[in-house]
Structures are given as structure tokens and as C-alpha cells.
Amino acid sequence: GVEVGERHQDHEQDRQDGEHQHAQRGQRQQRLVELAVCQGHQVVLAEKAAEIGGQFRLAAVPPCKQDIATALKSYYNHCKKHGVDIRLNTEVTEDFLKELDPDTVILATGGTPLHINLPGIDGENVIDAIDVLDGTKVPGSRVLVIGGGDGGTVRELLRYACVKQIDLVEIDEEVVKVCRKYLPQTAAGLSDARVHAHYEDGLKFVRHYEDVYDLIIVDSTDPFGPGEGLFTREFYGNCNKALHADGIMVNQHESPFYPKDAIAMQRAHQRIRQSFPISRVYQMHIPTYPSGHWLFGFASKKYHPVRDADFAAWEQKGIATRYYNVNLHRGAFALPNYVEKLLEEVE
């Protein structure tokens, strides 16, 4: 019998490169199997992945390449028709070969991506095309939402095609379950494939990430109880670390109207200013919140929320909104005198 498969190659170069040379890939594999079958051999085809075809399979992913997928399906059916023993999700190890005891082993070894030696080529923002086609990495904006288990923030983010992945960190899974059941119009986006839910403390979650996110939205409760940690200097510092160099953090900033809320607002503003070079506050009218006058924070390592805003690009998206418009965006950062004074006291 002939075994055409993927064998574990423990070469020093593999260890140095951090790459595993995968065998039995693409068209070479197909041609070898066909030749072996035609010559009357009993063939076992082992593939480490869940599908045959190797990198040839990835070539079928882009638009207008469906013919390649059809060819791979035809090849698979052809192998089955002629009695080829196809074993998917199977790595050819030494033990596997001893058990199978083939007369001949053919390794159709695949290639590895060529990385040009350029400064920054190994950065977090560099993605191989092969990883995109394979679905292991997602190009485009990656957003972290802390809190927001009702799904409202996620729903609005999903309206932007540039958002490719949303990590939702909600400390209480029961919040999500209840909102799915009783607030389906708000929670509908939680089932989107781009949304990845993590049920844990946002303070602990963000500690483990560096230079990963384009945007962090802190949709938290008030600064006491479970939400207290999301108003600490440690938390804001870790958010800074988790963002890319041009990343932005937006957080709920409490109300300036009532004295106790105003103190919490000042404390949050002071800590954010200690963590980000650019920190601004804007306001919204929210009737269901205490006093109806609520503040939000904008923090960034690079961008000013008004001077650097590309309003023309946003309007070109054609997104219909009930509240937001570009004039409101500009005006939201113009604060009442009493709010300006409260902020100045801690700056």
C-alpha cells in the first residue's frame, strides 16, 4: 500500500522558524494519489486539516474562484470512488506509520509564507493573506466593549462594515440571557458571527492584551459594586496598553448635576487624563438617566475628537441615525460653564 500523508517533521529549521512544514498539499497531492490509484495501489490519504486541498483550498475563498472549490470537491469524490481511504484531521506521526506499516510513504510537503525582511513586518498590525483566507485572522477594526450586556452598543457597532470583530466582556451572563429574551430589538446583534462574548470581569480581561484594539467602549454601570474597578487608574492604563497607537477609548463619565455623581465624574476624568495624552468630555441628553444630563469621555493617544474627525467620510457611509449628526458631534464637546469648572478643578 501507498500512504500519502502529512508527517511531523522535527527539523531544527522548523523549530527555529516556528513553522511546521505541512505535507500532502494541493495539486501535488492530487496528482500523486491519482498516479498511485491508476497503478493499482491501495492508498491511504492522511490530512491534518479538516479538508483536503491544502493551500489550493484557500485559493477558492476569494470571489469568482468558486471553480476551484468545485474542482476540489470533484477530486474528493474521485478519490472516494476509487477506494482511497481518506483520513481527515490526521497527523502522520511515527506511531501512526508503525501501526499502518505502508510499503511506501509519499510526503507532499507544502510551503510556508515568504516574509520580506522589513522593519515592523512582525507587528500586530501585519497579517498574512493566507491567514485571512484561512479565517485565522480578521483584517479591519477590532473593538472591545466592556459591559453593555443588553447588546445596544454592539448593535450600533455592527452597522459599520469596517468593524470585523467585537469582543464583548460582560461580568454577568444572566444579563445577556434576559436581554435576549425580553429586549430582542436591542440584543439582536449579539448573535452576529463578528461578536465574541466573554463572561468575566472587564478589569481582569483587559490586563492580558497589548496593542490589539482599535476602539474600546466602556459601557459600564456606576462606580460602585461590580463596576467600581472600571473607574480605576489601573483599568484606564490597561486600556491604553490594549489599544493600537491610534486607538480610542470612550467611556460613560457619570453626571455632573448631582454632587455625589459630580465627584465620581471628576475622579474618572482625572485618572483618564493621567493615562492618555488626549482626554476630552462630551455631553448627551438622556431622559432615563438621573438629571437627564450625562457625560461621556473620549480618550486617545493620537486623535482629537473634533479637529481630527473626518466628517465627510462618515457622511459618505450613509448610515441613518435618529440622534447623531456631525453638527451635534461638534457641539457635544461644548460644555456648560459649571461642567468646565468641575473638570478644571482636577486637571
Which residues are annotated as catalytic? 219
Locate cell 507544502: which residue? 110
Cα maximum dimension of the chain: 89
Distance CA 12, CA 166 (A): 39
Judge contact between 26 and 1, C-beta under 8 A: no
Judge contact between 310 and 327, C-beta under 8 A: no
Q: Is 345 helix (H, G, I), strand (E, B) or coil?
A: coil
Neighbour count for residue 96 (Cβ, 10 Å): 18
Which CA distances in Å does 230 have to 169, 237, 239, 272, 303?
Answer: 12, 11, 10, 11, 23
| Surface-to-core class of residue 285, CB atoms within 10 Å of its CB (0-12 exposed, 13-18 middle, 19+ buried) | exposed
Judge contact between 79 and 45, C-beta under 8 A: yes
Type and span of the H or E element at 71: helix 66-81
Judge contact between 55 and 27, C-beta under 8 A: no
Parallel, antiparallel or unpaired: strands 85-87 and 43-46: parallel
Q: Is 102 helix (H, G, I), strand (E, B) or coil?
A: coil
Locate cell 495624552: which residue? 277
Q: Is 166 helix (H, G, I), strand (E, B) or coil?
A: strand
Distance CA 302, CA 212 (A): 16
Locate cell 458571527: which residue? 193
